Amino acid sequence: MSHSLSGEQSIGNERFTSGEHSEQSVNAGELTDLSRLCIHTVTTKPWPIEEAAANFSAAGVKGITVWRDALEGRDIRQTGRLLRDGDLAIVSVCRGGFFPGKDGRKRKAAIDDNRKAIEEAAELGAPLIVLVCGSDPGQSLEESRKQIREGIEAIIPDAAAAGIRLAIEPLHPMYADARSAINTLQQANDLASSLDSKTVGVAVDVYHLWWDPDLEREIKRCGENGHLYAFHVCDWKTPTADLLLDRGIMGEGCIPVKKIRSWVEAAGFDGFYEVEIFSGTYWQQDQSQYLKKIIKAYKENT
């Protein structure tokens, strides 16, 4: 990662090797400070980015991932400066992708939009773009996957020239129809490996991948390949009232977030833990109280 985390890492490593082996073998060590906490702008969607930045900074949050809609109508360079002045590392931009389309014009428009995302990320000063790869229900998954590969290949030179990396984010199979034809970490790892570019890696999101019996093995492989670029956390609620907008705060559902974090750390990941929650319920509540809940859950359940 481009930011320095040496201080926290040495603490983390020390904790990891100084005993507590029985607990460590199951879960990661406690997160005692917020030095690796990043929050996505979409998590506190009712706040404009300026307000989110001010509140995150005041609470001691150290990173922010910026959704492109949060930049609408703004001078992007100036917004980047504002975030950095608030001592927030800009972790990534969400999102690029949505490459497949039965219609060739749609595919071309998608590539143009991804090039725009690369420009925006460069102006903002973000090192990474997360790719939600897309899928078209009017064609086979195999065809969508082929078009995803072609789309990523088309933008690699632009991203590389701008010094920006791309992270393929596998999505839960419930989104295979229209959001992503890349649904397991194995598929994302395979794609990143076969593209064989220093620019392309993977984003691991517990919401999409927690159910996968091969998850531990594939996280290890992702780390060994040097492709583990980002780690997103939240929780899975039962029942889930909305397939998109009912994510929970860590500890509220059935995802073993701590266990998955231990796998990610064992794979060598030293970046931010990014809280990404889409929730119609939480967006209706007082966002300051909600931020306090997120920070408590980060320390206790992440």
**Residues at the site binding Zn ion, with contacts judged by CB under 5 A:** 205, 232, 276
In the complex with Zn ion, the residue whose CB is nearer, 179 or 232, is 232
CB of 130 to Zn ion, least distance (A): 7
In the complex with Zn ion, the residue whose CB is nearer, 145 or 172, is 172
Neighbouring residues of 142: CB distance < 8 A, sequence distance ≥ 6:
none
DSSP classification of residue 279: B
Length of the chain measured in residues: 302
CB of 33 to Zn ion, least distance (A): 23
DSSP classification of residue 208: H
3-state secondary structure of 248: strand
CB of 283 to Zn ion, least distance (A): 17
In the complex with Zn ion, the residue whose CB is nearer, 45 or 232, is 232
Cα(197)–Cα(96) distance, rounded to whole angstroms? 17
In the complex with Zn ion, the residue whose CB is nearer, 232 or 258, is 232
SS3 content of the chain, % helix, strand, coil (to 5): 50, 15, 35
Q: Residue 53 burial (CB < 10 Å; 0-12/13-18/19+)?
A: buried
In the complex with Zn ion, the residue whose CB is nearer, 212 or 276, is 276
Cα(230)–Cα(170) distance, rounded to whole angstroms? 12
Tokens representing 50? 């300026």
Beta bridge partners of 274: 38, 232
CB of 41 to Zn ion, least distance (A): 13
CB of 230 to Zn ion, least distance (A): 8
CB of 16 to Zn ion, least distance (A): 26
In the complex with Zn ion, the residue whose CB is nearer, 221 or 232, is 232
In the complex with Zn ion, the residue whose CB is nearer, 107 or 232, is 232
DSSP classification of residue 252: S
Q: Are strands 235-236 and 247-248 parallel, antiparallel or unpaired?
A: antiparallel
CA angle at 292 for the pair 267 and 29, rounded to the nearest 5°: 30
Q: Which residue has the tokens 């030293």?
A: 270
CB of 276 to Zn ion, least distance (A): 5
CB of 169 to Zn ion, least distance (A): 5
Phi/psi at 161 (nearest 5 deg)? -65, -30
Q: How many CB atoms lie within 10 A of CB 58?
A: 11
In the complex with Zn ion, the residue whose CB is nearer, 246 or 276, is 276
